[in-house]
Amino acid sequence: MLLNRIRKHLDIDELVRERTRQLALRTEQLARRSEEILRLKNGIVFTLADVIESRDSNTGGHIERTTWYIRILINAMMEQDVYSDEIKEWDLDSVISSARLHDIGKISIPDSILNKPDKLTAEEFEVIKTHPSVGVRMIEQMTEQTGDAEFLRNAKLFAAYHHEKWDGSGYPDGLKGTEIPLHGRLMAISDVYDALVSDRPYKKAFPHERAFDIIMEDAGVHFDPAIVEVFKSVNQKIMSIKERYG
């Protein structure tokens, strides 16, 4: 009787160990699969962003630089407790990566306008102004096909609102103040700064100091004043990104 009980306990212990081994193996397989899916998604995003940028001969490196600016600003905002309650709810890697799709709607803009060698006419600028809305529609189509709601929800916010202005004079919706989602307010500063310090057909690149002054002057007009203060505190880091990826 005692021997039977011992054998039974040994059998149970072996069964528990085997199930533990199987669970560990399954967990490892799931982790590996999740990593593969993440690499695949990031690869698609990088490729798509590269396609967008390759169509616009005037903005080489813009997507990578603005993504870095966003990362620097978000980290500093967390440290300085600026909109940190909202940012704490974010999956930061997903948010930052999704910023690469902010200009996806430019795919729809004709080359004759996108790569025009001088300043746009008023009519041509109206065409350019359609790219946020086109980007939103494209991302919504992706969402219907993939169901990747979190990543694409962030991408949609960057695409939709990066040309809105704090005073309500931006586009496409004329939102004002904190009506503009935080994604849009972050990208507004990143996008404009990068445009200022980059060559364009109608202007030479401004030095960092002049671009910095313009950002400061537009606090409360174009840009969220609280984010401008954060930008001020990290502007040297942002300048270093421009120099590295310029």
- Residues near 100 by beta carbon (within 8 Å), at least 6 away in sequence: 45, 46, 48, 49, 63, 64, 67
From 25-29, 111-115, 189-193, the region with the lowest mean pLDDT: 25-29
| 168 dihedral zone (left: phi>0; alpha: psi -120 to 50; beta) | left
* Length of the chain measured in residues: 246
> Alpha helix (H) ranges present in 81-121?
84-87, 92-98, 111-114
Please indicate whether residue 69 or residue 23 has the higher confidence score (pLDDT).
Answer: 69
Considering the candidates 8, 88, 106, 165, report the single residue annotated as catalytic. 106
For residue 203, the 8-state DSSP code is B
d(CA 197, CA 96): 22
Check pLDDT > 80 for residue 42.
Answer: no
DSSP 11-54: HHHHHHHHHHHHHHHHHHHHHHHHHHHHHHHHHHHHHHHHHHHH
| Percent above pLDDT 90 for the chain | 58
| Percent above pLDDT 70 for the chain | 83
Q: What are phi and psi of 200, to 5 degrees?
A: -130, 160
- Tell me the pTM: 0.82
Check pLDDT > 60 for residue 6.
Answer: no
Q: In which band, very low, low, confident or very high, does the pLDDT at 128 lie, cut at 50, 70 and 90?
A: very high
Check pLDDT > 80 for residue 67.
Answer: yes
> Alpha helix (H) ranges present in 56-148?
62-80, 84-87, 92-98, 111-114, 122-128, 131-146
d(CA 85, CA 81): 8
Give the mean model confidence (pLDDT) for residues 162-176: 97
Give the mean model confidence (pLDDT) for residues 20-37: 72
Q: Say what the pLDDT of residue 23 is.
A: 74
Check pLDDT > 80 for residue 2.
Answer: no
- Residues near 48 by beta carbon (within 8 Å), at least 6 away in sequence: 100, 101, 104
Please indicate whether residue 110 or residue 146 has the higher confidence score (pLDDT).
Answer: 110
Q: What SS3 class is residue 191? A: helix
Q: Say what the pLDDT of residue 11 is.
A: 62
Please indicate whether residue 54 or residue 164 has the higher confidence score (pLDDT).
Answer: 164
Q: 2-245, what's its fold? A: Hypothetical protein af1432 (1.10.3210)
Check pLDDT > 80 for residue 136.
Answer: yes
Q: What SS3 class is residue 224? A: coil
Q: Say what the pLDDT of residue 215 is.
A: 98
d(CA 118, CA 201): 5
Q: Say what the pLDDT of residue 236 is.
A: 96
pLDDT in tens, 74-83: 999 999 999 9
The most confident of 154-163, 192-201, 236-245, by mean pLDDT? 154-163
Output the CA torsion 152→46→130→142 (10° steps): -40
pLDDT in tens, 183-215: 999 999 999 999 999 987 778 899 999 999 999
Q: Say what the pLDDT of residue 191 is.
A: 96
Active-site residue 106, yes or no?
yes
Kindly report the number of other CB atoms within 10 A of residue 144's CB atom: 9
Check pLDDT > 90 for residue 65.
Answer: yes
